[in-house]
Each structure stands twice: as structure tokens, then as C-alpha cells.
A and B are shown apart, each in its own frame.
Chain A
Amino acid sequence: MATVLVYIEHAHGKLLKSSLVAVRAAQEAAKKAGGDVTALVLGQGIDAIASEVGGYGVKQVVAIDDARLKDYVADLHARAVAHVAKDKGATFVIAAATAQGKDFFPRVAQQLEAGMASDVTALNDDGTITRPTYAGNVLATVSIETPIKVVTVRTTAFEPAQKAGSAAVEKAALPADATSKMRFVSFNETKSDRPALGDATIVVSGGRGLKSGENFQTYLEPLVDALGAAMGASRAAVDAGFVPNDLQVGQTGKVVAPQLYIAVGISGAIQHLAGMKDSKVIVAINKDADAPIFSVADYGLVADLFKAVPEMTDEVKKLKAS
């Protein structure tokens, strides 16, 4: 019987939605291989998260509650996942392709001497795996040749797991000699009351066309908030310091696929498109009628954003009030 091990990331004592997506991918993998899913939670004081995960249709939850795992460090977290994977005889080890998953899952793969596929968008019936390459311009079909297979899954490519059952939580231990060569120093969180980019049904992103961080506040944010949306940005806007780095959407930033994506003052470079072109409906507002963003937009408005965006904010408010 194949065991699929899925790593559960959490933050501020909360299960992340991306982890439920990973659970769903693990359930798919288990179904195809004729096995079941074990979820793994690492950290300190994680009882609530471990039992919560047990309610999402997994066979078992393993929890390692250890002061050494309180703060995330790649080497020790990799050691813990590999340790449990070996202990459970897992043949498939899965995490979401979040910053954390991307950071330490290759280490997990190496510790298991396993092949790894990153940012996977499909687990195919024949055992092959599909993943985007070349900024999403190419879809590669790959096969992992090792007995244990490690993958990170793209969070937009799978639905989150549904509530089902309540699996027991098994406590496991980190080997006593396991130490980290790394020291967690600090985390400077970007504070925001808006929904997280990956969780939002509507995303409004701004680009270099906004021209300043102030204009993001004056022009874009009222629209973002009127729509109850998350805010995103192009690399150019982040590089220029208009908005924080974790708002970057694209090949090398976050990949989003909301119901509605509104690109404002963004030209539509392939690296940006790689992060949003699977959105259900795309709107582009740009003053240049030839901007490549229009080639993926369902609705394109050629206009000066400084005029169009405030107008749109008003229209949306009117509509919501009626």
C-alpha cells in the first residue's frame, strides 16, 4: 500500500489554504497509486493544527512538536520530513510550492535520494507529471525515475481539500542528534488587512504605469478595497519600491488564478503573464492599445489609468450600494 506524505505549512497558528491544496494533490496521488495520505505537521504547540488537518480526508496525521522546530529553518525541517517519510515508507512526498516549500523540499528530495518535480500542475493517470517551464511558455511532461517521488504543487492548479472524517494524530519525534546549522534571526512581516494574494477571488495589480507608491495608495488601493480584492504588482513596481516584494506576481513571484484579475498600468511581459494567465477573467487597463497584456485580457480598456481607475472605483461603489 502506497503512502503519500503531505507537508502541512502553517503560520500564526493557522493552517494555510495552500496546505489544503497540497492535501488535495496528495489525495489524487494516493488514489492513482492505490494508497492513502498521511499529513505531517512540524512546529511547537501545533495540536490544534494537527487535529484540524485530520478533518480533511487524510488517513493519519503525524505531528512533531519540538522546540527545535519552532522557527522555520530549512535544514532541520528537511531532516524532519525525510525522517517521517522513511519511517512511514512514503513513496510520494508532497508540499505546496510556496516560498517555504520551494526552499526546503529539494533538500527533502536529496535526503531521500529522490527525484523532484517543482511547481507541478498535473499528476497524470500514467504516472507522468506536468509542470510549466520557460515562464509558462512550455508545458513539460516529466517522469520521476526514483522509487520515492518528491513534488511541490502549484497552488492554483488544484482545489483545496474538502472536510471529511477525523484522522487520529500520532506524535513522532525528531532524532535527538538533529541540529541546525542555521539560525533564524527575524521575520519582518508585511502587515496588511487585505486578503492574501493566493486566497482572493479578485486581484487588482498595478505596474510601473502607476509611477509611485503614493499613486498606488491614492489610485489603486481604493479600487482594491471597493472590490474586497487582494493587491498585486509587477516586478517593475516592486523593484521601484512602490509596494513590498511579496506582492510580485509572475514567473519568479507569486502565481495566482483568481476569478477576476485586473491589471492596471502593466505591459504584460511574459514573466508577468506566467503568474496570472490562468485567471478566469482578465481585465487590462492600459493607455497603450498595443500593450501585450491585451492579448490575454477578456476585457481591455485603453485609457489613462489616472482617470479610469477613480471612475471605476465610483462605479463599483455605486453598484455595491444599489
Chain B
Amino acid sequence: MKILVPIKRVPDPQTNISVKADGSGIVTDNVKFVINPFCEIALEEALRIKENQGGAEVVLVSIGHKVAQEQLRTGLAMGADRAILVLSETELDPAVTASVLKKLVEQESPDLVLLGKQAIDDDANQTGQILAAMLDWPQATFASKVEFSGDKKEVTVTREVDGGLEQVAFALPGIITSDLRLNEPRYASLPGIMKARKKELKEIPLAELAGDAAPRVKTLKLAPPPKRAAGRKVETVQELVNLLHTEAKLI
């Protein structure tokens, strides 16, 4: 089995994000970048599938600046077999990202593409689904459990949806996107880090794969959201309930 795992480099979820004064982007000075948490979960799942099935190839891909090498190296240290970096200077929309991934799927012929459900920078939640539509593949988004049939040709995925958990099944090849509770990603081990240095990390210019794909959505401006006015502290439960009754008129 071959599994393709697209990972995106994003600001650490713990950092405070602020917008540049001219609204052209976010302030990146002193911001730490990491693998998008959902992609890390997707990678962990791919590694577990590989371990459980006694072999599979896990191929990482990231589209972005050269610095995304760092995240790919981390993924290789976690246990992925090789990595592809598609070099792009500009931020792409999910449709262009998916069209690049489609080209790679055609070249690599994976049985499964495991993505994050959402990148925590653009919060789009689109790429996996668009890719599935481009390939006319089945999809299971928001996965919290992935189980293969005995012959490994079919997969049943438990999905976190409104009101409960849904199960959907399909024959491979297909697309799965990870939710938070799919697994807890491992840390890269020291031997893993050593090994990762020797693993293949191939770079491909965007133009080779994007073809004539043009962004369908343009970001014009970024702005900070309106701030909530500061509230006040109350001393007792009685005071709180009283205020909710008389001032806020909600109870």
C-alpha cells in the first residue's frame, strides 16, 4: 500500500496571531512554524497503517516555501519514507493546492491520500474534498477511526459529524481527512531524526505541476476582528445570578 500525506507548514497554534498594519498578511517575526496539527494526525495514522499492515510506503508532500523543508524533515523523522516539496512563493487557494496534489497522485498512484481536515491558518476545510472530486474518488472527512477489511481493499471510516458518529465505507483508492481524535501523534525519536537526514526530499517547482491552474479565490485584505469590551468580576454566585436576572435579563 502507498499512502500520500500532504502536510502544510502553519504558525504554531499556541502563538498569538496579529495582522500587519497594511492588512496584507500576518506578522511572522518571532512566530514559530509547525506541521499543521491535523496533518500531523494524518501522518500518524499513515504510519500506524504501515506498522499494522507490515509494510506500506508513506510519502509526504508539502506545497510552499523552501523553509517547509523543516516540516518535511520532521515528518520524515516521525517515520515517513520520503518527501516531496513543491516550491511555491505565493500562498495558494485550496483549488490550486488540490490540482497540484492531483498531478502528484497521477505520478505516484497512491492507494490512499490522508490529509488534515483543515489547515489552521486558512481554516478552509476544502482541499481533501476538492481533490476527491477532481479524481472522482470516494472520501471520508473528519475521521476518528480508520479500519481496513481483511484483504485491505476496503476501508471503513468513523466520522465526527453533527449529532454523533457516522460510518462510511469505500473501496480504495480514496481520500481520508483526519479529525482531532483519530490518534495522538508520536514525537520524532533521536534515531528517527538521524535517519531522516538520509531520506529523500525531492524539490519540484510549482510550475511543473500547477499547469494552468489559477486561484479561484483571492484574498484582498486581512483585518483583526472587533474586540470584546472588557467585563467585570463578580464576588459571589448570588451577585452573578442577580446580574444575569436584572442587568442582562437572561434568566
- Interaction A to B: yes
**Is B133's CB within 8 Å of the partner chain A?**
yes
| Contact residues in A for B223 (Cβ distance below 8 Å) | 138-139, 141
| Contact residues in B for A111 (Cβ distance below 8 Å) | 133
Interface residues of A in 114-164 (CB under 8 A from B): 114-119, 128, 131-146
**Is A11's CB within 8 Å of the partner chain B?**
yes
Tell me the bound Cα distance from A44 to B118 in angstroms.
31
A182 near B168: Cβ-Cβ < 8 Å: yes
**Is A78's CB within 8 Å of the partner chain B?**
yes
Label chain B's interface by main secondary structure. mixed
A142 near B251: Cβ-Cβ < 8 Å: no
Of the candidate stretches A33-41, A46-54, A57-65, A295-303, the one touching chain B is A295-303
**Is B198's CB within 8 Å of the partner chain A?**
no
**Is B194's CB within 8 Å of the partner chain A?**
no
| Contact residues in B for A239 (Cβ distance below 8 Å) | 180-181
Contact of B129 among A74, A142, A252, A281 (CB under 8 A): A74
Distance of B222 from chain A, by nearest CB (Å): 5
Task: Using known A-B contacts A111-B133, A115-B216, determine if residue A312 contacts B165 with beta carbons closer than 8 Å.
Answer: no
| Contact residues in B for A188 (Cβ distance below 8 Å) | 164-167
B162 near A99: Cβ-Cβ < 8 Å: yes
Interface residues of A in 158-174 (CB under 8 A from B): none
Interface residues of B in 203-251 (CB under 8 A from A): 214-225, 228, 230-234, 236-238, 240-241, 243-245, 248, 250-251
Contact of A100 among B11, B160, B161 (CB under 8 A): B161
| Contact residues in B for A183 (Cβ distance below 8 Å) | 168-170
B166 near A115: Cβ-Cβ < 8 Å: no
**Is A3's CB within 8 Å of the partner chain B?**
no
| Contact residues in B for A134 (Cβ distance below 8 Å) | 11, 17, 26, 120-121, 123
Tell me the bound Cα distance from A297 to B248 in angstroms.
13
Tell me the bound Cα distance from A283 to B126 in angstroms.
34
| Contact residues in B for A136 (Cβ distance below 8 Å) | 225
A106 near B237: Cβ-Cβ < 8 Å: no
Interface residues of B in 162-207 (CB under 8 A from A): 162-171, 174, 179-181
| Contact residues in A for B171 (Cβ distance below 8 Å) | 181
Tell me the bound Cα distance from A227 to B220 in angstroms.
43
User: Residue on B with the closest CB to A134?
Assistant: B17
Tell me the bound Cα distance from A115 to B180 in angstroms.
27
**Is B33's CB within 8 Å of the partner chain A?**
no
Tell me the bound Cα distance from A181 to B120 in angstroms.
29
27 A–B pairs (Cβ distance < 8 Å), ordered by A:
A11-B163, A74-B138, A106-B127, A106-B133, A109-B95, A109-B130, A116-B126, A116-B217, A118-B123, A118-B126, A133-B123, A134-B121, A134-B123, A138-B225, A139-B224, A142-B219, A142-B220, A145-B214, A145-B216, A182-B170, A183-B170, A185-B167, A187-B166, A239-B181, A244-B164, A245-B165, A245-B181
Interface residues of chain A, those whose CB is within 8 Å of chain B, are: 11, 73-75, 78, 98-100, 102-107, 109-111, 114-119, 128, 131-146, 180-190, 196, 202, 227, 235, 238-239, 244-246, 251-252, 254, 259-260, 270-271, 277, 281-283, 289, 294-303, 308, 311-312, 315-316, 319-320
